[in-house]
């Protein structure tokens, strides 16, 4: 007798092949049989022609802190995700010495848009080293399956302390970092992650530690990762780590290099395609480069207490260094500072996160009753109506409401025609949900449902079998996850049951359910009828349904070469 049989489903096996109608049986958390007319089971689910696929593998999340207080990493499992890869960009919380905990949390508050109060109240620090972190997760149990990168910024901070954000490392320090990376790989890290992106700043606008690494440090640590013949190097690239440079590293280490973040920009429309062409040329030469992209428009909710979208600008540094609200307001009101920001917006147009597209920046929620009529208006229209420069207009509005006005910016990846060309490239890794981070800015944890709904069903950019493959079998192969990502007897029963006619992500909503009552954006699924992790049901058509104490996931620690 099977533990579970899902009967009469349209079975998408994750390979990209066309589906077949049939039943799927599960025993002891694994797929036992796929066929017609399977026998008795302790539980039977009648699919009646709904699509059955492997669970989504989300390759770019930041749940490293949240998972210590929320083992189910809400909302991902209720959005079809059965495996989450954490530690992207190198922004991990392990290894971490007790003396470095506060600065680690303050950096995350800034670079990943997390609430400091939530982090201080929520993180359970039952570890110091990376192996101890994995051991703790395993002991406590996890809801979905989890894979973890060894994170560059954490490794650097462990070795260099406060100086990690100030200078290059010595040879001795690099050797100590390499030893930590080897230790993490031996313990079960999926690879090594880093960032050189100029937008990645920690507390006070200081660069995140990994941004201070020189060429010798970077190459040494990636070599340390790949010494055992496995592991993925993940990098959120800045202007100095070009694709040709990363091809050199891939050729040297002979391991995959996953490069984030490939976004299309209307103000620099050819840049993404130049980058993608360079990646594909490297692949043609036998070097394993992978461009990581999103299937969601990049939009951010923000206030001027923490306006992440402006913080890649040099002119914004004084505002990031302000340590209290009054000092911040004084900077925002300074005409000379505003002039420098305007000048940089003009000089660096097309190379910033926000590039002066004021027509795509909206007032979401005014803090005062008198400004309620402004909600929904673009800053371009408001500035025109008020006869002001748009930068003056938005800063004056924010200052007049004690910096509590909520805005949203539609930043990148919002041209369906151009984005569709990127998604249709079969070698791009579709991910970049950033789930667990930027919680007050956006929620893209439902990216996989959006790919199957908007891009596959509605626009036809990918057929459904290919969309499923790009979310399941393809990332499983990329990360070396051997027993997931496909529907095949003997593999783990990570499953997703959905209606292809309606599947999509639902509207986002604001909740105040983080530790210390901090706010976040979250969302729900549309057309999703069931999610199983290792054969245990964690979501149904109404959403999350698991017993919080059940924790059926696995901490993945063994990956294919």
Taking the C-alpha atoms of residue 513 and residue 297, their distance in angstroms, rounded to an integer, is 26
Q: 326 lies in a domain?
A: yes
- Which of 368, 384, 412 is the endpoint of a domain? 412
For residue 236, what are its two tokens?
A: 């959120």
pLDDT score of 349: 83
| Residues 70, 184 within the same domain | yes
| Residues 380, 438 within the same domain | no
| Residues 325, 434 within the same domain | no
- Which of 412, 441, 465 is the endpoint of a domain? 412
Q: Exposed (0-12), middle (13-18) or buried (19+): which is 284, by Cβ within 10 Å?
A: exposed
Confidence at 330, pLDDT banded by 50, 70, 90: very high
| Residues 408, 433 within the same domain | no
| Mean pLDDT to the nearest integer, 323-345 | 94
| Residues 215, 336 within the same domain | no
| Residues 308, 227 within the same domain | no
- Taking only the tens place, the pLDDT of each residue in 425-464 is 999 999 999 999 877 677 899 999 999 999 999 999 999 9
| Residues 120, 109 within the same domain | yes
DSSP state of 82: E
pLDDT score of 547: 94
Q: 167 lies in a domain?
A: yes
Distances (CA, A) of 277 to 318, 470, 550: 37, 19, 46
Confidence at 507, pLDDT banded by 50, 70, 90: confident
| Residues 321, 279 within the same domain | no
Distances (CA, A) of 246 to 239, 242, 255, 259, 277: 12, 6, 11, 9, 14
Whether the pTM exceeds 0.75: the reply is: yes
Instruction: Provide the mean pLDDT of the chain.
Output: 95
- Which of 478, 510, 528 is the endpoint of a domain? 478
| Residues 346, 440 within the same domain | no
In this predicted structure, the answer to whether residue 205 has a pLDDT above a threshold of 90 is: no
| Residues 348, 468 within the same domain | no
pLDDT score of 154: 98
Q: 535 lies in a domain?
A: no
Q: 25 lies in a domain?
A: no
| Residues 304, 381 within the same domain | yes
Taking the C-alpha atoms of residue 544 and residue 553, their distance in angstroms, rounded to an integer, is 15
H/E stretch holding 416: helix 416-423
pLDDT score of 186: 98
Q: Residues near 93 by Cβ (< 8 Å), separated by ≥ 6? A: 64, 65, 68, 104, 108, 123, 133, 154
Classify strands 2-11 and 51-54 as parallel, antiparallel or unpaired: parallel
User: Who has greater pLDDT, 21 or 509?
Assistant: 21
Q: For residue 203, give the 3-state DSSP assignment.
A: helix
**CATH number of the domain residue 421 falls in:** 3.20.20.140
Q: 491 lies in a domain?
A: no
Q: 10 lies in a domain?
A: no
Full DSSP string of 529-561: EEEEETTEEEEETTEE-S-TTT----B------
Taking the C-alpha atoms of residue 435 and residue 112, their distance in angstroms, rounded to an integer, is 10
Q: 519 lies in a domain?
A: no
Per the DSSP assignment, residues forming a β-bridge with 302 are 407
Q: 336 lies in a domain?
A: yes
- Taking only the tens place, the pLDDT of each residue in 461-481 is 999 999 999 999 999 999 999
- Taking only the tens place, the pLDDT of each residue in 216-272 is 999 999 999 999 999 999 999 999 999 999 999 999 999 999 999 999 998 889 999
Strands (DSSP E) contained in 12-94 are: 20-27, 30-35, 41-46, 51-54, 56-58, 81-86
Distances (CA, A) of 339 to 332, 335, 336, 355: 11, 6, 5, 15
Q: Contact 505/443 with Cβ under 8 angstroms?
A: no
Distances (CA, A) of 311 to 334, 421, 474: 17, 29, 34
Range of the domain at 378: 300-412
| Residues 183, 82 within the same domain | yes
The total of structural domains in the chain comes to: 2
DSSP state of 456: I
Q: Residues near 90 by Cβ (< 8 Å), separated by ≥ 6? A: 149, 151, 152, 153, 154, 155, 192, 193, 194, 195, 208, 210
| Mean pLDDT to the nearest integer, 494-506 | 97
């Amino acid at each position: 007798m099977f533990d579970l049989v899902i009967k009469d489903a349209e079975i998408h096996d994750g390979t990209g092949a066309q589906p077949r109608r049939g039943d799927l049986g599960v025993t002891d958390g694994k797929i036992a049989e796929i066929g017609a007319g399977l026998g008795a089971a302790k539980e039977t689910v009648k699919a009646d022609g709904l699509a059955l696929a492997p669970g989504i593998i989300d390759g770019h999340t930041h749940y490293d802190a949240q998972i210590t207080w929320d083992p189910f990493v809400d909302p991902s499992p209720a959005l079809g995700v059965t495996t989450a890869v954490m530690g992207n960009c190198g922004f991990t919380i392990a290894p971490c010495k007790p003396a470095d905990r506060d600065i680690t949390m303050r950096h995350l508050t800034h670079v990943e848009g997390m609430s400091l109060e939530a982090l201080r109240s929520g993180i359970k620090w039952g570890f110091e080293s990376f192996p101890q972190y994995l051991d703790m997760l395993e002991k406590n149990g996890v809801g979905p399956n989890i894979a973890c990168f060894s994170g560059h910024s954490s490794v650097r901070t462990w070795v260099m302390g406060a100086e990690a954000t100030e200078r290059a490392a010595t040879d001795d320090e690099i050797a100590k970092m390499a030893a930590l990376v080897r230790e993490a790989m031996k313990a079960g890290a999926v690879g090594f992650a880093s960032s050189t992106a100029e937008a990645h700043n920690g507390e006070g606008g200081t660069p995140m530690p990994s941004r201070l690494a020189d060429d010798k440090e970077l190459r040494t640590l990636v070599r340390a990762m790949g010494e055992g013949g496995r592991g993925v190097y993940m990098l959120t690239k800045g202007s100095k780590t070009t694709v040709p440079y990363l091809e050199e590293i891939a050729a040297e280490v002979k391991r995959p290099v996953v490069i984030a973040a490939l976004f299309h920009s209307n103000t620099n429309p050819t840049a993404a395609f130049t980058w993608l062409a360079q990646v594909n040329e490297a692949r043609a030469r036998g070097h394993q480069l992978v461009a990581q992209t999103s299937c969601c428009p990049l939009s951010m909710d923000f206030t001027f207490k923490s306006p992440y979208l402006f913080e890649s600008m040099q002119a914004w540094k004084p505002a990031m260094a302000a340590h209290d609200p009054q000092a911040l307001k004084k900077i925002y009101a300074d005409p000379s500072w505003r002039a420098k920001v305007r000048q940089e917006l003009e000089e660096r147009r097309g190379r910033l996160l926000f590039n002066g597209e004021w027509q795509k920046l909206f007032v979401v929620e005014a803090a005062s009753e008198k400004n309620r009529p402004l909600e929904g208006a673009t800053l371009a229209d408001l500035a025109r109506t008020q006869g002001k420069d748009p930068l003056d207009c938005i800063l004056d509005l924010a200052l007049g409401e004690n910096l509590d006005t909520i805005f949203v910016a539609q930043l990148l990846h919002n041209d369906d025609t151009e984005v569709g060309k990127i998604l249709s490239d079969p070698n791009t890794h579709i991910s970049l949900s950033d789930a667990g981070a930027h919680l007050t800015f956006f929620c893209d944890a439902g990216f996989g449902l959006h790919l199957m709904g908007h891009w596959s069903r509605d626009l036809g950019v990918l057929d459904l079998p290919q969309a499923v493959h790009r979310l399941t079998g393809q990332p499983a192969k990329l990360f070396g996850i051997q027993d997931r990502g496909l529907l095949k007897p003997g593999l783990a029963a990570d499953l997703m049951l959905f209606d292809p006619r309606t599947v999509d992500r639902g509207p986002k909503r604001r909740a105040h359910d983080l530790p210390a009552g901090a706010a976040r954006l979250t969302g729900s699924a549309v057309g999703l009828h069931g999610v199983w992790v290792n054969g245990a049901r964690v979501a149904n058509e109404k959403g999350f349904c698991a017993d919080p104490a059940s924790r059926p996931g696995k901490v993945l620690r063994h990956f294919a070469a």
